[in-house]
Structure 1
Amino acid sequence: MNTLPRALVILVGIAGAVIALYGIREVASIAGPVVLALVLVIAVAPVRGWLHAKGLPVWLQVAVPFLVVLLVLLSMVGILTISVTQLTSLLPTYASEFEQLLAAAQQWAATYGLGTDVLERALEAFDPSRLFELAQGLLGSLIGVLSASFLVVVLLLAMCLDAPVTARILTAGEERRPQLVRALATCARKTRRYLIVSTIFGLLTAALDVLALSLLGVPLPLLWGFLALIANYIPNIGFVIALLPPTMLALLDGGVRTMVLVIIAYSVINVVTQSFILPKFLGDAVGLTTTMTFLSLLVWTFVLGPLGAILAIPLSLLARALLIDSDPSATWAQALVSGRLPDR
C-alpha cells in the first residue's frame, strides 16, 4: 500500500489546523467560557476526589467543588467591579496633568534640539473628553466580563454535575485506549500543578505589588495587584502587561520619580519571585519549551482574545494530550515540544 508523501501530510495537517483555529475563533464568545469552565473543573477535581474517597454523597461531591470555584469567581468579580468603578471616576481628573506632561516633554525636547512635531500634534489632538470615553469603555468591558462570568458559572455547574460520570467513563475506557486516557490524566495533573503554583506565586507577587504601590502613594493599588495576579498566568509578556498601567498612572499622579520607583519595585519583585523562586517549584512540569510557550501565547490569543492569553498553557497542554501524547508513534513530536530527548 502506497503512503502519501510526508510533505503532503504536513501541509494537509497545517491546513486542517488553520481551519480548526479559525472556526474556534468565530465562536470564541462560547469557546472561551467553555475552556475556562473546563480548566476550573480540572483545578478543583482533587476536592471531588477527596470527598469521593471519604464516601460522601454524590451531590456533595458536586456541590462543594462548585461552591469553591463560585466563591473565588464572585470575589474576583467583586474586586474588579469596585476597582473599575473607582478608575472610571478617577481618570477624568488627570486631564490637566496629561496636558502639563505633554507640554513639559515638548519643552524638554526643544531644549535638546529634538523634533517636537509628534508632541505638538498629540497636544493639539488631545481632548479631555476622551478620558470620559475611555471610562465608558471600561464600564462596557466590565459588563462584558459579568456576562461571560454568568455563562462560565452555568457551564461550571453542568460540568461539575457530569464530572463523576466522566471520571467513571475515562476509567472504563482505559483498557481500550490506554494511551489517550493516560495522556488526558497527565494533562489534568500538569494543568493543576501549573494553576496551583502560578496562583500561589501570583498572589505573592500581587501582595508585594500592592504594598509597594501603597507605600509610593499610587492610586488604586488593589486594582493593579489584581491585574498582576491575572497577568501572572500570561507567559512571557505578563509582567509588561501588569507594569504599564500603574506606571502611567504613577507618572500622572506623582511624576517621573514615582514612575521610576514603580518600575524598580515591580522589576525587583518579578525577578525574585518569577526568576529565582518560581522555577524551583514549577520546574519542567508544564513540559513545553520556551519557544512553544511563546507560540502558544500568540496562537491562543489570536483565537480566543485576552482569555486565550490567560489560558494559553492549559490549552496547549490539552492540545498536546490529544494530538501528541495519545499517539504512541509521536515520541519525536513529544521531544520537539518539550525539549527533552525521548527515553531509549
Structure 2
Amino acid sequence: MNSTFNADLRVVKNVLLIFAAILGIMIIKTLSSLLIPLAFALFIGILVSPIISYLDKKKWPYTVSISLITILTLGFLFLIGLIVYDTGLQIVEQKDKLLTQIDDKFQEILEGLSFIPGVGSVQTEGIIDTLNNIISTEFLLNTSGVVASSVGAFTFNFILSAIYLVAVLGSIVRYEKYIAYLEGDDPEGKERLVRSFVEVKNSIVSYMKVKFFTSFCTGFCFGIISYAFGLDFSLFWGFLAFLLNFIPTVGSIAATIPPILLGLVQIDSSGTYTFFIILLVATQFIWGNVIEPMVMGSSVALNTVTVILGLVIWGYIWGVAGMLLSVPLIVLARVILSQIPDADMMVKLMGRSQLER
C-alpha cells in the first residue's frame, strides 16, 4: 500500500514539476527585457571572477578592480557594435561595386543556363533594383523607426547590463559569505550551495576558455581565407565567425553562409570558388568537431541532444541572446535539478555532473 502511494506521489511530483517548468518558461519569456541583461551580467561576472580574485590577492582596492573590469567589458561590447556599424557603412558606400558584380554574375549564370527554354528571357534588372533600394541610405531612413527602436532597446539593455555587472562584480568573489548568510546555521546546506556554485562557475569558465580559443582561431582562419581569395570585408567575416561560433551547432553554419554568398559573386573561377568553400567548411569542421571536443574533454559533460534542445528552447525564449547563453544556462539548470531528489533521471539524461567524476 505504501509503495503504491509513494509511486503515485512521485508521479504527481513529476507532473507538477513539468507544469512548474512550463510556467517558469512563460515568466522568463515575459520578463526577458529585464532578465537578459542580468543573465549576461552574471555570465560575465563568473568569467572574470578569477581576474578579480587575482587582483584581490595582489591587494588591489576592490572598487578599482571592479571599475577597471567593468570599463574593459563594456568597452569590448561597444567595440563589437562599432565594428558592425562601420561594416554596414562600408557596404552602403561600396554598393555600386557590389551591385555591378552581382549583375555580372547573374548574367554569367543565365548564359550558362541558356540551353533551358525560357531562361534567355529572364531579366535581372528587377533584382538589381530591389537590392539597390535595400542597400541605400533612403531605405535606412524609411526604416528609421525600426532602427531607432532597436538602438533604444540596445541602449537600455547596455545600461541595465552595466548596472547589473557592477552589482555582480561587487559580490561574485565573496560568494561564500552570501551563501553563509542565506543558509544561516545550516552547515550542510552551506556546503551544498558552495559546491553547486563552484560547479557552475568551473563549468562555465572551462567551457568559455575552450570556446573562446576555438572561436578566435576559426575567425582568424576565416579572415585570412577571405582576404587570400580577395573578398571584401574579410576582417568582418572573420569577426562574424568568431562571434557566431559561440552559438552551438547553428552558429558555425550561419557564419559560413555570408562569405560563401559573397564569394559566389566576387570569385570568378568555379574551381577556385569550390576550393574556397572547401577551406571554409574544413576550417569549421576541424576547429569545431575535432579540436574543440578534444580540448574540452569532460569539462562540460553535456550530451549533444541536451545541447540542441537547450539551443532550441532558449532560442525560443530569448532569441539570439538565449542561443549565446544556452550552454551556461543548461549547466545552471542541471545543477538546480541535481538538488531535487526526484529529478535524478533528468540530470543523468542531461549529462554527468562534475561532482560525479
Q: What is residue 199 of structure 2 aligned with on the other side? A: 186
Q: Which amino acid aligns with 2:172?
A: A
Q: What is residue 153 of structure 1 aligned with on the other side? A: 162
Give the Å deviation of 1:194. Answer: 0.7
Q: Which amino acid aligns with 1:185?
A: V
Q: What is residue 277 of structure 1 aligned with on the other side? A: 291
Kept after mapping to 1: 8 A contact 2:179/2:193: no
5+ long unaligned stretches in structure 1:
none
Matching residue within 67, 90, 94 for 2:94: 90
Give the whole-Å Cα distance in 1 for the aligned partners of 2:102 and 2:251: 26
Q: What is residue 35 of structure 1 aligned with on the other side? A: 39
Give the whole-Å Cα distance in 1 for the aligned partners of 2:139 and 2:237: 16
State TM-score, norm by structure 1: 0.84
Q: What is residue 320 of structure 1 aligned with on the other side? A: 334
Q: What is residue 321 of structure 2 aligned with on the other side? A: 307
Bigger drift between 324-333 and 141-150 goes to 141-150
Q: What do you get for the CA RMSD once the two structures are aligned?
A: 3.3
Give the whole-Å Cα distance in 2 for the aligned partners of 1:9 and 1:92: 64
Give the whole-Å Cα distance in 2 for the aligned partners of 1:215 and 1:312: 34
Kept after mapping to 1: 8 A contact 2:176/2:194: no
Give the Å deviation of 1:336. Answer: 1.1
Is 1:69 aligned with 2:73?
A: yes
3-state SS of paired residue (1:163): coil
5+ long unaligned stretches in structure 2:
none
Give the Å deviation of 1:42. Answer: 0.4
3-state SS of paired residue (2:172): helix
Matching residue within 4, 22, 40 for 2:26: 22
Kept after mapping to 2: 8 A contact 1:88/1:135: no
Q: What is residue 175 of structure 1 aligned with on the other side? A: 187
Q: How does 1:138-149 map to 2 (within 5 A)?
A: 140=147, 143=151, 145=154, 147-149=156-158
Q: What is residue 248 of structure 1 aligned with on the other side? A: 261
Q: Which amino acid aligns with 1:168?
A: K
3-state SS of paired residue (1:260): helix
Kept after mapping to 2: 8 A contact 1:34/1:155: yes
Give the whole-Å Cα distance in 2 for the aligned partners of 1:298 and 1:327: 24
* Higher alpha-carbon Rg: 2
Q: What is residue 229 of structure 1 aligned with on the other side? A: 242
Give the whole-Å Cα distance in 2 for the aligned partners of 1:157 and 1:211: 37
Q: 1:247 and 1:91, CA in 2 relative to 1: closer, same or farther beyond 3 A?
A: farther
State TM-score, norm by structure 2: 0.82
* 1:163-212: CA deviation from partner (whole Å, max 9, x where unpaired): 34544212554824233331221011100111111111211111111111
Q: Which amino acid aligns with 2:211?
A: S
Give the whole-Å Cα distance in 1 for the aligned partners of 2:172 and 2:139: 41
Matching residue within 59, 63, 80 for 2:63: 59
Q: 1:246 and 1:49, CA in 2 relative to 1: closer, same or farther beyond 3 A?
A: same
Identity of matched residues, %: 20
